[in-house]
Amino acid sequence: MQHIELMAPAGNFESLQAALDNGANSIYFGVEQLNMRARATLNFTIADLPEIARRCETKNVRTYLTLNTIIYDHDLSIVKTLLKQAKEANITAVIAMDQAVIASAREIGMEVHISTQLNITNIETVKFYAMFADTMVLSRELSLRQVKKITEHIEKEQIKGPSGRLIEIEIFGHGALCMAVSGKCYMSLHSHNSSANRGACKQNCRKKYTVIDQETGFEMELDNEYIMSPKDLCTIDFLDEIVDAGIKVLKIEGRGRAPEYVAKVIKCYRDAIDSVANETYSKEKVISWMQELEKVYNRGFWSGYYLGQKLGEWSTGSGSHATQKKVYLGKGTHFYPKAKIAEFKIEAFDITVGDTILVTGPTTGAKEMEVTDMMVNDLKSDKGSKGDLVTIPIDFRIRPSDKLYKIVENKVEA
């Protein structure tokens, strides 16, 4: 079986580096306000485009700019400026849903990918957008059987994009799902005047609600199911079927998630994709990957619409079901390259030999390791506390102000 492209989210340079370090084939990111995660994460700026392209080019990783919100007239000049800068920085493609963005990108010869917001569900729509785009994200509501039928038609009819290559089909593989059709939701706009379709979703669907019968006044608290908050999508346990369906790109959701989330999820899916390709994919490996995925932010997992079930896998809480969490300890202060020793200033809580630590930073990404040896204020010790300078043998370079965390077990309520 062929390898499929693993596409990672990047909400900042920490997550970008985590994606690169853990085997992503491509990354997608937003710039300032014109993307569907404008509120959820800091995003990048136009000035960051050359550095994003540089880091990714060194690892032969493709870069996709998400510009997939609703566009108003006053946005058009910004759109054109952003696309021009992205093209000059050698960003690979733009992910778009608005015809103005698609047309502007085509005018300057920039590769276009169609966002899931356009809700492509059939081969005739694929043929139409093939005039403009080389890759298309299908509607999230399709089953794998429906997806496979579309990829077979593309092959049979030799449907090609502007590049002259066969159209590539992309689907979401892991992460948050929205109850709205392909993310087109108006609940946040209605309740908070904050449009999800402009990247400013308030996520009020994730809360607990009370239903009131208007005729009788009877109230029912929905305390066991958050009925507008689906569990997170997870496809790692049927990834072989996804590859068999002819999908070329597997997209991991999570531009608003932490860098350790990106690192963990990308590593698991990298291993899984490689295992499918070399025919070592197994039930035992799936169990191990699932245990790893459960350690980082999630609302519980289900397989979405791909296997044909009706929507009904609701989250049982408003927060994360992760089995682990990070606790802030301090910051990096120095790195001794010859000895491979990292120095940290402890600002909160204790660190002890045997702890699993996480180091994050814009250049470092997200690195996890176990503390096997430690010096505290230049003396050998098993424990460091607030105010101490701690040095730890480490197999990667840290930078000043890298953040240090301890990974601990997270008690999740049933």
> Please, which pLDDT band fits residue 313 given cuts at 50, 70 and 90?
low
pLDDT tens-digit series, residues 99-125: 999 999 999 999 999 998 899 999 999
How many residues make up the chain in this entry?
414
pLDDT of 307 > 90? The answer is: no
Exposure string for 319-353, b = 16+ CB within 10 A, e = fewer = ebbbbbbbeebbbbbebeeeeebbbbbbeeeebee
> Please, which pLDDT band fits residue 414 given cuts at 50, 70 and 90?
very low
The pLDDT of 278-294, averaged and rounded, is: 96
Map out the domains of the chain with their CATH numbers.
Answer: 5-178+229-302 (3.20.20.70), 185-220 (no CATH), 324-409 (2.40.30.10)
User: Cα separations (Å) of 69 from 34, 140, 193, 200, 248?
Assistant: 6, 17, 16, 10, 24
> Please, which pLDDT band fits residue 70 given cuts at 50, 70 and 90?
confident
Cα–Cα distance for residue pair 260/198, rounded to 1 Å: 27
Mean pLDDT check: name the lowest of 62-76, 178-192, 300-314. Answer: 178-192
Averaged confidence pLDDT in the chain: 88
- The better pLDDT of the pair 302, 245 is held by 245
Contacts 24+ apart (CB under 8 A), 153-160: 153/123, 153/126, 154/123, 154/126, 154/246, 155/246, 157/123, 157/127, 159/123, 159/126, 159/127, 159/130, 160/130
The pLDDT, as a whole number, for residue 195 is 60
The conformation of residue 74, written as its DSSP 8-state character, comes to G
What six digits make up the tokens of 288? 């191990």
Whether residue 211 contacts residue 220, with contact meaning beta carbons closer than 8 Å, is answered with yes
The pLDDT, as a whole number, for residue 250 is 98
Whether residue 94 contacts residue 67, with contact meaning beta carbons closer than 8 Å, is answered with yes
> Please, which pLDDT band fits residue 371 given cuts at 50, 70 and 90?
very high
Specify the residue for token string 């300057």. Answer: 108
Cα–Cα distance for residue pair 209/221, rounded to 1 Å: 6
Cα–Cα distance for residue pair 237/245, rounded to 1 Å: 15
The pLDDT, as a whole number, for residue 268 is 98
pLDDT of 304 > 90? The answer is: no
Whether residue 102 contacts residue 165, with contact meaning beta carbons closer than 8 Å, is answered with no
Q: What are phi and psi of 207, to 5 degrees?
A: -90, 170
pLDDT tens-digit series, residues 37-63: 555 455 799 999 999 999 999 999 999
Give the gyration radius of the chain's Cα atoms.
Answer: 23
- Residues of the chain with pLDDT > 70, as a percent, come to 83
pLDDT of 67 > 70? The answer is: yes
